[in-house]
Structure formats: C-alpha cells, structure tokens
Amino acid sequence: MTSLKALRILSGNPKGFGGDLRFGKTGPGAGLLGADSICSCIAEMSMKGARFKQWRAFLSVSKGPDGKQVNAIDRIGTGPWYDRLGRLLANNTSELLAQRPKNADPAIKNDLPNEDGIPNHQPDP
C-alpha cells in the first residue's frame, strides 16, 4: 500500500505522478516497471533496507515488458502478506481482496496505518 503523501514526496509534485508511472523507465512496459520502482522507493522511505525485497505495483496493463497483457492479481503472488512491522495483513488473495482483510492482525484489520504508523482515520498532517 502507499499513500498520496508518499507519492507527493517521491514525485516532488502535489499531484503525485499524475498518471505517468514510468519513473525514468523507457521502452516496452515502462509504466509497469516504473510503478514497481515507485513501490520499492516508497518502501525504502518507510524502512531502510526494504528496497532489497521484491515490490510489485498492484497494476494491470494491456502491454507489459513482453508486449502481453498483465493482470494485477497475477503479479503479487499468493500470500501471505505482512505489514512492515510483521503483522499479518492477509493469508491469500481472497482475504486480501475482501472489503477488510479477513484474518488480519486485529491491530490493523479495521484501520490500516499509513506510512507514518498513524491509523488512517487520522489524516496525514
């Protein structure tokens, strides 16, 4: 997950990336590859060393790097997923895609924190 605040910081623009997710990438699939790089950079901003893990944008495109359609759900694996503090978010894609992740850690289930650890019912300062 990311937030508009993180996108604003990374892009240096109050509107974030404005739909252009290439993030310095060029060629076939640049938007998808750039979006993955954005995710990696935001993870690193949140926790030093996080960029060394694999980060995937939950993004579908009609033409990926190999020219074929890419579906978001196929890019993120089968789970489980954890937040940066190691708390369970979801065990599988069915739980992940529920309105509120089923079986998530009670500390985050109903109020997923933002990148500052602040519950999202409290807006970013």
* Model pTM score: 0.78
- pLDDT given for residue 107 in this prediction: 81
Q: Give the chain's radius of gyration (CA, Å).
A: 15
Tokens of 79: 């789970």
- pLDDT given for residue 123 in this prediction: 47
- pLDDT given for residue 124 in this prediction: 46
- pLDDT given for residue 115 in this prediction: 58
Kindly list the averaged pLDDT for each block of 10 residues, start to end, along the chain of length 125: 86 92 94 94 88 88 92 92 85 88 82 60 48
